[in-house]
Amino acid sequence: MRFFGRKKKHGAPASVPEHIAIILDGNGRWARKRGMPRTAGHARGAETFRRVATYCRDIGVKYLTAYAFSTENWRRPPEEVAEIWRLLREYLDETYERMERDRVKVRILGGREEMPEDVRELLAKIDEKSRRIDGITLCLCINYGSRDEITRAARLLAEDAAAGKISPEEITEDSIASRLYSAGIPDPDLVIRPSGEVRLSNFLLWQCAYSELYFTDTLWPDFGEEDIDRAVAEYNRRDRRYGGVKG
Ligand code: IPE
Ligand code: IPE
Ligand code: MG
């Protein structure tokens, strides 16, 4: 991520969500509209993420989560999958080099077993560096699926129960949450999905129980600072009740 300490440009939102999560969608359609291969859309989408992440940090977002590759995205043509992983590697390499200077703590949400060995090594180095950094937390969802995450948590609890470390009555929402990839990270306040699709596509199903959802037709590569401002402004018009009553 490149951080130049820029100030926000588009008028101060009343309150900035502590945690924004974004489903980076619409890269393929952005490219097709221009007669380009889908992979060109992924490259442009990665650039957009660099800009938007910088902006989110500048306006005071504390946690930024990006859905970059799902457990279902392996179903795509192998050439597309390979290009997405090339871009992910490039981004992760760059992040590893810059994270101390930019004060970005990185959390990876997703299954690592299926990842190439060099990526797993790089992620281990990023984990290690992140322990020493105190700043915005960037959560990258790579090979992430919410059902997969919850299934793993259930398995971990079952193992603890079988080993006599925990009894079924001791299983609580907290004991489940603490076994998710997102353990220790507050739930998203605002989830943004560009590209016109109105669904979550297996993204943070547990964590988004009370998140505000914002959908827009803008394709991810076209996203800019003003789109974040619009989403934050809409967030400020929402009334979060968590099942209670107002006032
Ligand atoms: C999102 O853009 C990127 C990934 C899912 C990796 P898409 O590739 O899904 O773009 P569309 O939805 O086909 O336009
Ligand atoms: C969701 O987008 C996954 C990511 C953005 C990483 P998809 O493009 O994969 O979702 P669907 O297939 O439209 O639901
Ligand atoms: Mg898509």
pLDDT of residue 145: 98
pLDDT exceeds 80 at position 247: no
Find the DSSP H helices in the chain.
27-33, 38-59, 78-102, 117-130, 146-162, 173-177, 225-237
> Per-residue pLDDT for 4 more than 70?
no
Nearest ligand 1 atom to the CA of 69 is 6
Q: Could you tell me the distance, in angstroms and rounded to a whole number, from the CA of residue 128 to the centre of ligand 1?
A: 30
Which atom number of ligand 1 is nearest to the Cα of residue 197? Answer: 12
pLDDT bin (cut points 50, 70, 90) of residue 236 is very high
Quote the pLDDT of residue 246.
Answer: 84
**What Å distances lie between residue 8 and 15, 16, 21, 61, 167, CA to CA?**
13, 12, 19, 12, 50
Report the atom number in ligand 2 closest to the C-alpha of 197. 13
| Rounded Cα–Cα distance for residues 179 and 154 (Å) | 8
pLDDT given for residue 230 in this prediction? 98
Give yes or no for residue 11 having a pLDDT over 60: no
Name the CATH topology of 19-146+187-237.
Answer: Undecaprenyl pyrophosphate synthetase (3.40.1180)
Tell me the C-alpha distance between 77 and 190, whole Å.
32
Predicted local distance difference test score (pLDDT) of residue 10:
52
CA of 170 relative to ligand 3 center, distance in Å: 39
Residues 117-149: tens digit of each pLDDT? 999 999 999 999 999 999 999 999 999 999 999
- For the chain, the average pLDDT equals 95
Give CA–CA dist 110/114, Å, rounded: 10
Residues with CB under 6 A from ligand 2: 23-25, 67-70, 73, 197, 199, 201
Q: How far is the centre of ligand 1, averaged over its atoms, from the C-alpha of 26 (Å)?
A: 5
3: confidence class by pLDDT, cuts 50, 70, 90: very low
Q: Is 211 in the pocket of ligand 1 (CB under 6 A)?
A: no
* Mutation probe of ligand 2 site: the residue of 73, 81, 192, 203 with most atoms within 8 A of C-beta: 73
| Residue predicted with more confidence, 122 or 11 | 122
Q: Which of 84, 201, 220 to mutate to test the pocket of ligand 2 (most atoms within 8 A of CB)?
A: 201
Task: Give the residue numbers marked as catalytic.
Answer: 25, 73
pLDDT (tens digit per residue) in 157-209: 999 999 999 999 999 999 999 999 999 999 999 999 999 999 999 999 999 99
pLDDT at 13: 47
